[in-house]
Structures are given as structure tokens and as C-alpha cells.
């Protein structure tokens, strides 16, 4: 028995994607349709004009890849068609809680609330008509809500298909982001990885050793895409402006007030951007928020005056960079030296693990490999530390990028101040842990 498909969607990355009746009902729901109006790469289209694809096509692609993985491991994992259907649905819903400008809104959420887009995704699945659609098709919304964010307590490998270093999510966004931005870094052979997956005795995904090269290419492609696209200097300039504008205007626009889940339906890129640009500058905060949004729309971006990249094998620097107090103190010092307002200084620390987190949001430290050679009637498996993989081991850790931006009119003064502060001695050696 196989899934019964009722329609197909033409996708530039995966070709024709077939969908089932219940998947079509979910795709047609207002919460999934909202994703058509959220750019996958936030402000990256200001640097890569082709990068205007949305979360909508990404979630459909992720659903497709999740189904391929499910089919690949079905025999050994004991998956039935119902299980594969739930896996596909979870993948389709995994980003339904994203706010305007995707991960950019997450930065505002983290500063204003204790929520993230995964929390919102779970609420949408259980509190909206998405839950009604699921129930009418025999699914438990609470179960799908946990699986769609990789937190199901049922079978570990199902979570790993949704999130982590072997996830359908990463396999789709690398190919999709590469295609639409026009860069070359993310062109990887995901089919080789998919065909080489299996499930270990303890219920986790494992990879055939012969396909290790394809897995390494996947992680290296991700690393290169972060450097070239996701954390591109000018991309981050645009995103800093939007994030700061949304933060300043949050009290006026109630962007992070999601007490009612239907409020998220108006949180789309164009609506929020226009709201920001139309703000009445009654206070200094609203004036700055309006100015930043207007400048973003005209591509008059803040300027980078300093950049330092450090590859670290531990989280010491990452922890320091993640502290708002550290960034505020540095901005105040620079502003005082330059004779400008602290609000003119933007400290950006877009730190991220060089290899992705696991579905449990822990460091991806090892991978289980298997060989098809038979030893004493049993398949040989071994767990290999990521750091010992020849290629991936060289990029493990945290790539920390410290950048300082300022308004164009303050550029020369801030450049001089930064040169004074950082020129006396190496800045990193003066950080006290």
C-alpha cells in the first residue's frame, strides 16, 4: 500500500511534488498560505535579487524530502503509510509559526518575549483550524505539534528527519537558497544521503559509511552558505535595520503580542514593513523606527566599519557575544569616543554553530555510520565524533563574527573611534570571561 496522491505541484528544485488530499487541505489553509508572504531569506534579496522565494515553497519542498527519507528507511524502521504521512505533514508545518522576515523576527521575539517560532508553530497546530483539519483526517494535533518542531517523544529518528544535521529542512533550504540566490555553494547530492540512511537499533538515524563524502559535502555547503549568503555583510546590514525598527516599534504596533493566535495572520513582510514606514514619529523611538524602515525600502543601509571573524572550538566567545550587556557597553564606548548617539551604533554578533544542532537542540557531536559488510551475521555500526571526520572536523565549533555598523552620516567619525578602541591592542585578548 502507498500514499494516495490527488494533485502535484511543479517545483524548480524537486520537480513534480505529489500531494495527498489531507496535505492539500493543509496547504490551502490560511496559515500555510500566509507563508507565501514571508521571504525565506528576509532581506537577502537586497543583495541577491533572485532571493525572493518564500517559506511557502520551502515547507512544501521539506515535506517532499521528508517523505523520501521516510520511504528510504521504512523497511528497517517499520514505518507504515500512516507514519510517512504524519512525517510529511510535520515537515509541511515545521515553519508555520515564522513571523515576518523569518528568523529576523526571532531576534525581536527573543528580546521582547520568551517565545520562538517553534512555540508559535505548536500553538498554531493545536489552536487554529490546522488542528481541525488534522483531527478530521485522524491525526492528533498535539502529536503533530511536537513532531513538527522535532520534539516528539515517540521515535528519535522521526525528530531527526525534521531537524538536525540529517534533516529534510536543511536538505531543502540549501538547494533552494542556492538556486534562487544564484550562488554555487549549496549544490549537493542529497539523494545520495537519503538513499544511504537507515535506523539504528536505538531508533536514531544512521548513515552508510560509503556515503560519508556526501554528508560532509552537505555540512560544508551549509558552512559556506552562512558565510556567503545568510551572514553576508550587507545582508546583515539590512536585517539589523529591520530588527531594530521592529523592536523600537513593538510597543506601538504590538508585533510580539500573540495572545490570540489569529494575530499572526497579519504578520507578513509587506504588511509589517508598511506599518513601520507609516509610523507617526511622536517619540524618538518611533522616529528612528520609521527612519530605518524607510531607509530599508530605499536600500539606504547602515555601513559596516569593522569586522572580525574568529573560529572557536568552544562556546566561550559565543556566550560573551550573546550577552546584550556586552554589546551595549561596546556600543556606548564607541559612541562616546565618536561623539555620536549610542543608537547610531549597531553591534552585530550573528554567531551560529558551524555544524547544525541536533533535533534535541544540542551540539551535533557525532554520527552513527554503518557498513553493509556482514560480520558474524550482524551489520557493523560505529559512532564517529564529528571532530574526527577529515573535512567537517576542520570547521567544527562556532564561527563568531563581530561586526560594527553605523549610519552613513556618522561613518567617518565612527571609523576613527573604532580604530582608536581596537587599535591599541587586540580586542579579544581584553575580554574577561
Q: Per residue of the chain (433 residues), what is the pLDDT tens digit?
A: 489 999 999 999 999 999 999 999 999 999 999 999 999 999 999 999 999 999 999 999 999 999 999 999 999 899 999 999 999 999 999 999 999 998 889 889 988 898 889 999 999 999 999 999 999 999 999 999 999 999 998 889 999 999 988 999 999 999 999 999 999 888 899 999 999 999 998 899 999 999 999 999 999 999 899 889 999 999 999 999 999 999 999 999 999 999 899 999 999 999 999 999 999 999 999 999 999 999 999 999 999 999 987 655 555 555 666 677 888 888 999 999 999 999 899 998 876 777 776 656 666 778 889 887 655 556 788 888 887 887 777 677 666 788 999 999 999 999 999 988 877 555 545 444 3
Per-residue three-class SS string for 39-63:
ECCHHHHHCCCCCCCEHHHHHHHHH
Residue 404, SS3 per DSSP:
strand
Pairing of strands 366-375, 205-208: parallel
| Separation between Cα atoms, residue 351 and residue 230, nearest integer Å | 11
For 285-317, the pLDDT digits (tens) are 999 999 999 999 999 999 999 998 765 555 555
- Alpha carbon separation from 58 to 5, 61, 174 (Å, rounded): 20, 5, 10
Query: What angle do the packed helices 233-253 and 269-277 form, to 10 degrees?
Result: 70
Contacts of 250 (CB under 8 A, 6+ apart): 108, 112, 256
Q: Is the pTM of this model over 0.95?
A: no
Give the length of the chain: 433
Alpha-carbon torsion, ordered 268, 270, 274, 275, to 10 deg: 0
Strand partners, 19: 7
Strand partners, 54: 39
* Contact by Cβ (8 Å): 99, 117: yes
Q: Where in the chain are the domains?
A: 5-230
Phi-psi sector, 170: left (phi>0), alpha (psi -120 to 50), beta? alpha
Quote the CA–CA distance of 162 and 97 in Å, as a whole number.
15
Of the CATH numbers 3.40.50.970, 1.20.1250.20, 1.10.3210.10, 3.40.47.10, which one belongs to the domain with range 5-230?
1.10.3210.10
Q: What is the pLDDT of residue 401?
A: 82
**DSSP H helix total and E strand total for the chain:** 18, 10
pLDDT score for 103: 87
- Pick from 157, 278, 273, 165: nearest CA to 218: 165
> Distance between CA atoms of 295 and 293, rounded to whole angstroms?
5
Cα distances (Å, whole numbers) of residue 133 to 31, 80, 129, 141, 219: 12, 21, 6, 9, 36
**Closest residue by Cα to residue 356 from 235, 184, 187, 221:** 221
**Measuring CA to CA, which residue among 94, 76, 63, 70 is closest to residue 359?**
94
| Host H or E run for residue 286 | helix 284-297
Give pLDDT, residue 94. 96
Name which of 136, 130, 128, 158 is nearest 146 in CA terms. 158
Do the Cβ atoms of 281 and 290 come closer than 8 Å? yes
All residues at 6 or more sequence positions from 377 whose CB lies less than 8 Å from its CB, including other chains: none
**pLDDT at site 314:** 52
- Gap between the Cα atoms of 227 and 223, Å rounded: 7
Amino acid at each position: 500500500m502507498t500514499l494516495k496522491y490527488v494533485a502535484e505541484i511543479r517545483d524548480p528544485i524537486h520537480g513534480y511534488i505529489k500531494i495527498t488530499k489531507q496535505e492539500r487541505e493543509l496547504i490551502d489553509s490560511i496559515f500555510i498560505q500566509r507563508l507565501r508572504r514571508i521571504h525565506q531569506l528576509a532581506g537577502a534579496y537586497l543583495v541577491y535579487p533572485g532571493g525572493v522565494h518564500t517559506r511557502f515553497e520551502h515547507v512544501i519542498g521539506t515535506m517532499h524530502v521528508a517523505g523520501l527519507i521516510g520511504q528510504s528507511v521504512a523497511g528497517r524502521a517499520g514505518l507504515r503509510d500512516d507514519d510517512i504521512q504524519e512525517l510529511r505533514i510535520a515537515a509541511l508545518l515545521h515553519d508555520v509559526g515564522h513571523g515576518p522576515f523569518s528568523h529576523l523576527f526571532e531576534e525581536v521575539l527573543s528580546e521582547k518575549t520568551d517565545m520562538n517560532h517553534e512555540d508559535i508553530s505548536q500553538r498554531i497546530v493545536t489552536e487554529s483550524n490546522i488542528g481541525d483539519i488534522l483531527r478530521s483526517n485522524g491525526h492528533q494535533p498535539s502529536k503533530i505539534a511536537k513532531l513538527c518542531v522535532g520534539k516528539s517523544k515517540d521515535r528519535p529518528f522521526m525528530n531527526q528527519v525534521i531537524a538536525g544535521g540529517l534533516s529534510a529542512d536543511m536538505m531543502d533550504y540549501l538547494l533552494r537558497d542556492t538556486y534562487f540566490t544564484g550562488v554555487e555553494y549549496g549544490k549537493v547530492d542529497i539523494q545520495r544521503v537519503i538513499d544511504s540512511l537507515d535506523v539504528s537499533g536505538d531508533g536514531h538515524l544512521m548513515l552508510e559509511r560509503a556515503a560519508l563524502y556526501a554528508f560532509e559535502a552537505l555540512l560544508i555547503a551549509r558552512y559556506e552558505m552562512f558565510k556567503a549568503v545568510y551572514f553576508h555583510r550587507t545582508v546583515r546590514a539590512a536585517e539589523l535595520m529591520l530588527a531594530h525598527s521592529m523592536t523600537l516599534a513593538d510597543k506601538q504596533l504590538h508585533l510580539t503580542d500573540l495572545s490570540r493566535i489569529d494575530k499572526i495572520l497579519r504578520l507578513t513582510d509587506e504588511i509589517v514593513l508598511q506599518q513601520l514606514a507609516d509610523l507617526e514619529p511622536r517619540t524618538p523611538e518611533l522616529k528612528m523606527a520609521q527612519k530605518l524602515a524607510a531607509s530599508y525600502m530605499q536600500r539606504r543601509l547602515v555601513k559596516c566599519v569593522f569586522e572580525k571573524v574568529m573560529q572557536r572550538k568552544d562556546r566561550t566567545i559565543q556566550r560573551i557575544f550573546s550577552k546584550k550587556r556586552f554589546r551595549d557597553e561596546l556600543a556606548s564606548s564607541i559612541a562616546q569616543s565618536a561623539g555620536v548617539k549610542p543608537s547610531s551604533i549597531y553591534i552585530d554578533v550573528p554567531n551560529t554553530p558551524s555544524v547544525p544542532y541536533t533535533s534535541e537542540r544540542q551540539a551535533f557531536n557525532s554520527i552513527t555510520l554503518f557498513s553493509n559488510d556482514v560480520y558474524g551475521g550482524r551489520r557493523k555500526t560505529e559512532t564517529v565524533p564529528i571532530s574526527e571526520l577529515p573535512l567537517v572536523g576542520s570547521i567544527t565549533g562556532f564561527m563568531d563574527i563581530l561586526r560594527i555598523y553605523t549610519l552613513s552620516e556618522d561613518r567617518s567619525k565612527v571609523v576613527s573611534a573604532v580604530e582608536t578602541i581596537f587599535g591599541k591592542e587586540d580586542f579579544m585578548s581584553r575580554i574577561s570571561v
